[in-house]
Chain A
Amino acid sequence: MAEDNSVMVVAILAVIASLAAAGISYYSAISVVPKISAYASSSGTANLSVESLAVINFSDANINWGSGKVDIGKTHAYLDTRSGTVTNGNWTPDTGLVLDNIGNVNVSLALKVGKTAAQFLGGTSPAYKWLVRNADTEPGACVNVTALDVFTDTTTSDTTFCNPLQFYEGNNTIRIDINLSVPYDSHKGALSDVVTATGTAV
């Protein structure tokens, strides 16, 4: 009888221990599952944490046409980084911006400028346009864009151009070109604006 009691005590302790183990396993499981963003159905045995980084970088972050003026007798000068030309003016032609996705996730890419055409250039009928295109050697970097390689008016609120901009090496670079129509009665002096690119992990 005494042996039975001892065995029963041990059994009860075993049950308590098992309950604790099961509880801990369950709590651990339900606390981990919501944090899994790429939860796969395949089995695995490695425990590791892979950090996802959404990082974009302008590898060419400046367009500077230098000093110039609208030619006498012309109403507008046209400055275009896509073609690398300046028409009806004597500014120095420049090339466009280059943006890379240097993170390890695809991102949705949105662009905005800091000023409207009127604020940036002023004068009569100014124009301030942009376009997005894939870098020449990376034709698939920008996916699902609605107007690739077509100039459209810039916006001061975020406009999505790529969804996604891929991160794969050799296919993660785009070019952003700017086209200005500078009126003869534009603001004078140093004119500048800032283009902001925002990449959100998708």
Chain B
Amino acid sequence: MDTKKVITTLFVLVIVLSLLSITLNVLYGGKTITVISKTKGVDKANIGLFVEGGETGVSITGNTISDIGLYVE
């Protein structure tokens, strides 16, 4: 009699665990999984110009001397 109760209990346990297993698989077994395989992208660009030397910009002119003269008695 006791053995039959134990067996019945065990079978009930089997059913519960099986249902649990099925539930877990339904919840998590069929999902789309997104994996971030590359999270950062880097690229570079170039900026360039050539500045000619010697004649650039504001010119510096040479000194000039002007004479102004008069005679005051």
- Residue positions of A touching B, CB distance < 8 A: 4-5, 7-8, 11-12, 14-15, 18-19, 21-22, 25-26, 28-29, 32-33, 35-40, 43-58, 60-75, 79, 91, 97, 99, 103, 107, 113, 176, 178, 180, 182-201
- Chain B interface size band reads 35 or more
Identify which of A25, A39, A54 contacts B25 (C-beta below 8 A): A25
- Residue positions of B touching A, CB distance < 8 A: 3-4, 6-7, 10-11, 13-14, 17-18, 20-21, 24-53, 55-59
Alpha-carbon gap, A50 to B37, bound state (A): 9
**Closest-CB distance, A130 to chain B (whole angstroms):** 10
Which residues of chain A come closer than 8 Å to B18, judged between CB atoms?
18, 21
7 residue pairs of the A-B complex, CB under 8 angstroms, read A21-B18, A46-B32, A53-B37, A54-B39, A69-B51, A186-B56, A190-B48
Which residues of chain B come closer than 8 Å to A25, judged between CB atoms?
20-21, 24-25, 28-29
Which residues of chain A come closer than 8 Å to B3, judged between CB atoms?
4-5, 8
Q: Are B40 and A64 in contact (CB under 8 A)?
A: no
Which residues of chain B come closer than 8 Å to A187, judged between CB atoms?
51
Alpha-carbon gap, A8 to B40, bound state (A): 59
Which residues of chain B come closer than 8 Å to A180, judged between CB atoms?
49
